[in-house]
C-alpha cells in the first residue's frame, strides 16, 4: 500500500483537526500538513519562504471560504501553474451551493465534497477520499513534476 502526502488548506482549526485525526486514525500510510489560507498554500506548494523544505503533496484538500485568498482563487492559481496543475485537488467545504460546485469544476477541481455536519460522517468521508487516492486512483509517479 503506497503512502500519501496530503496538504489540507482550511482556516477552520476544528475542521483541520478533524481531518488530520480521521486520516491518522485510518492509516499509517498518510501524512498530513496544513496551511490556513490560499496564500500560505501557494507558498507551501512553490516552496517559498518558511516552506522552502515542504514536501510536494500527492493530494490537496481545499476549503473554499478562507481569508486573504479563498479556495476559488487558490484552485485557479494551482490549476494554471504548470508545476502544480497535476496535483489532484478535492474541494472539501461546507458549501453545497450550485454556483460553487460549477465554478470549482470549471477551475478543474478533481472532486467536490460537501463537509458532512456529523463527526462520524465527516471522518468517514475524509477516510473515503484518502482510500480512493491511496488505493484506487493512479497518481503522477513523479512527486517533483
The Cα–Cα gap between 73 and 103 comes to 11
Residue 141 domain flag = no
pTM: 0.93
**Could you read off the pLDDT of 82-127 as tens digits, one per residue?**
999 999 999 999 999 999 999 999 999 999 999 998 989 999 999 9
Residue 88 belongs to domain spanning: 4-136
Beta bridge partners of residue 32, listed in sequence order = 6
Q: How many CA atoms lie within 13 Å of 5's alpha carbon, on the beta-carbon side?
A: 12
Residue 114 domain flag = yes
Residue 80 domain flag = yes
Residue 96 domain flag = yes
**Could you read off the pLDDT of 64-83 as tens digits, one per residue?**
999 889 999 999 999 999 99
What CATH number is associated with residue 102? 3.40.50.2300
Residue 28 domain flag = yes
Q: How many CB atoms lie within 10 A of CB 59?
A: 24
Residue 145 domain flag = no
Residue 143 domain flag = no
Residue 9 domain flag = yes
How many domains is the chain partitioned into structurally?
Answer: 1
Amino acid at each position: 500500500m503506497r503512502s500519501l502526502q496530503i496538504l489540507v488548506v482550511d482556516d477552520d482549526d476544528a475542521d483541520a483537526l478533524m481531518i488530520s485525526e480521521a486520516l491518522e486514525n485510518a492509516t499509517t500510510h498518510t501524512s498530513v500538513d496544513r496551511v490556513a489560507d490560499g496564500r500560505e498554500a501557494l507558498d507551501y506548494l512553490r516552496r517559498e519562504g518558511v516552506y522552502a523544505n515542504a514536501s510536494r503533496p500527492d493530494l490537496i484538500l481545499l476549503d473554499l471560504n478562507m481569508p486573504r485568498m479563498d479556495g476559488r482563487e487558490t484552485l485557479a492559481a494551482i490549476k494554471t501553474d504548470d508545476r502544480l496543475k497535476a496535483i489532484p485537488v478535492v474541494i472539501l467545504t461546507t458549501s453545497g451551493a450550485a454556483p460553487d460546485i460549477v465554478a470549482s469544476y470549471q477551475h478543474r477541481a478533481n472532486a467536490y465534497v460537501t463537509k458532512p455536519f456529523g463527526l462520524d460522517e465527516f471522518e468517514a468521508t475524509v477516510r473515503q477520499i484518502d482510500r480512493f487516492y491511496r488505493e484506487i486512483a493512479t497518481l503522477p509517479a513523479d512527486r517533483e513534476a
